[in-house]
Amino acid sequence: MPSGITHMLLSRFVIDRVADEAEPIVAAVLRSEPGAFLIGSVAPDLPYMSDLDLKLFKSHKLVADDLHYRVTDLVPIRGMTEARAIVEGGGPIDQARALYAFYIGYCSHLVADGLVHPFVRDKVGDYDVAAKAHRVLEMELDVLLARKLLNMEVNGLEFEDEQKWISDSHFKSQILASFSRQINSVYPHHKVIPADVGGWISTMQTVFGAAEGQFPRWYRSLLGDQGIAFKDYSDLISESDEILTLRMPKDAEQKGLTSNFMKKDTVHFFDDVIMRYFDRFPEVIVAGYDWVFNGKVPDRSLVPAIDLDNGRLLLANNLAEMPALWV
């Protein structure tokens, strides 16, 4: 995954893009439920937090794996269908808005993974053989993206506070219940309850707080190289061009690949990848709104079922092909 911080940064800034594109009503709905939207943007990764919570007696890693590698589009589809049913049935419209905000945040995660992960995979190799390198690169990209979008350091931003905004929603319990219900519906071999989801959120807040902070340089270097703590921008500035630029895949010879995922000489993280997200995701936001509140069924190719590690369609998972969201 792009780290939760990149997911939250992209989600925060994309609302302004939607408002600027003459969709102020849609942007207003998301701004009315910022906690739901931002938690939705990290939702597929939340079950991984169970392995870091000593108060939990079971792991939900397999839940997260399913959300990343099996019918990856169905949870938000069914969640939005639930929100649509509330609207059609004359139910509480504010609850429908909260569910829409959460599940469109979830879609943001899918789109971001589908766009960013091909870049990360080509830079460091497959996740199952380069997990630490993935984590380190993603955290470095967090730092550089925060500098680009906010002109601030990740350390000290306290993103865990934004994750607590979900508690300000009048419909937090309904969101947690809906998410657990959709997981159990799409993957019936799991039995997730709302309290599990609440525990994942609390643990992610703790993890964010531990990774961010005003640490001395030696500490940032030691733990940053392990993907445990964030470095500062000043630690990365001399190598930022290399971090942000992709040429050939790291494992091109081993995999028999003749080009990177974009089939270009170079791919730039900001100019190509991030701009693609801001170009593409506003359309998904508006299509989701039109479905829930106006009954207009969206084109499912906007958020297809992809492998979230490499962006390829689940039914044709081939690294030689362009990632689905890049076609």
Q: What is the pLDDT of residues 110-119, one digit of tens each?
A: 999 999 999 9
Beta-carbon contacts of residue 157 (< 8 Å; ≥ 6 apart):
5, 146, 150, 212
Predicted local confidence at residue 219, as pLDDT: 40
d(CA 321, CA 280): 20
User: Half-sphere exposure (CA, 13 Å, Cβ side) for 234?
Assistant: 6
**What integer pLDDT is reported at residue 223 of this predicted model?**
47
Q: Name the amino acid, one letter, at 217.
A: R
Predicted local confidence at residue 218, as pLDDT: 40
Beta-carbon contacts of 21 under 8 Å, excluding residues fewer than 6 positions away, are 282
Helix (H, G, I), strand (E, B) or coil at 268: strand
Specify the DSSP class assigned to residue 267: E
Return phi, psi of residue 13, to 5°. Answer: -80, -25
Residues of the chain with pLDDT under 50: 1-2, 216, 218-224
CB 39, CB 102: distance < 8 Å:
yes
CA distance readout (Å), 85 to 8, 79, 185, 224, 293:
28, 10, 16, 46, 10
Which pLDDT does position 75 carry in this prediction? 99
Which pLDDT does position 56 carry in this prediction? Answer: 55
Q: What is the pLDDT of residue 16?
A: 84
Residue type, 150: L
pLDDT tens digits along 26-80? 999 999 999 999 999 999 999 998 876 655 557 899 999 999 999 999 999 999 9
DSSP β-bridge partners for residue 306: 313
DSSP letters for 121-139: HHHH--GGG-HHHHHHHHH
Contact criterion met (CB below 8 Å) for 254 and 129: no
Tokens, residue 278: 């801001």
Sign (positive or negative) of CA dihedral 319, 288, 67, 269: positive
DSSP 245: E
Name the residue among 222, 223, 219, 273 with its Cα closest to residue 246. 273
Q: Rounded to a whole number, what is the distance in angstroms from the first to the last CA of the chain?
A: 20
Predicted local confidence at residue 198, as pLDDT:
94
Q: How far apart are CA 103 and CA 134, in angstroms?
A: 26
Instruction: Give the rounded distance of the alpha carbon of 112 from its chain centre.
Output: 6
> What does the pLDDT read at residue 22?
63
The Cα–Cα gap between 98 and 40 comes to 10
Query: What is the model's pLDDT at position 212?
Result: 52
